[in-house]
Amino acid sequence: MNNKIVRPPTPKASLENEVLVSVVLLYFVISSALLLIHHLQPEDAVTQTSSPSPSHAGFHVSTAAAVGAQAKPDDPRPWLAQAGYTEVRDLQWDGQGWRATALKNGQRWALQIDPRPVIVATPLATVPTR
């Protein structure tokens, strides 16, 4: 009456190999998806972070390579204007690049501009709209 089908036990090494292969495949799928998202994101987009620190509220990187031939190496204002920044203040050379603050889309940004030119912006405070 008791007709049980007896199956041979699965070898432990075979099960471990299946788990390892699954983990590696999952790693590649997730990595590929993240790289695709990174490459599809617009270059001048603000990326929000999960950090509770106000200084990590957003991180903005843009380039202004098209202006590079026209702009003087010692004046980053054309690069900033092309990237959409206005009201540039406190422009200073720190030995490796320029530092300034500027306004873009109602947001005040602390800017770091290197000679390539790459503009790295960190939000400072929201400027009230009028």
Task: Give pLDDT tens digits for 95-107.
Answer: 778 899 998 888 8
27 in helix, strand or coil?
helix
Query: Does residue 23 lie within any of the structural domains?
Result: no
Which has more confidence, 9 or 126? 9
> Does some domain include residue 109?
yes
In a domain, 80, yes or no: yes
Residue 123 above 90 pLDDT? Answer: no
Classify residue 38: in a domain, yes or no: no
Q: Which domain holds residue 67?
A: 46-126
Exposure of 117 by Cβ count < 10 A (0-12 exposed, 13-18 middle, 19+ buried)? buried
Residue 121 placed within a domain = yes
pLDDT the model gives residue 69: 42
Q: What pLDDT score was predicted for residue 71?
A: 43
Structural domains counted in the chain: 1
State the pTM of this model: 0.44
Would 10 be classed as within a structural domain?
no
Asked whether residue 66 is domain-assigned, the answer is: yes
Three-state SS at 103: strand
129 phi and psi angles, rounded to 5 deg: -85, 150
Q: Is residue 77 part of a domain?
A: yes
Render pLDDT for 37-76 as a digit per residue (tens, 0 to 9).
Answer: 888 877 766 665 555 554 544 555 555 544 444 444 567 8
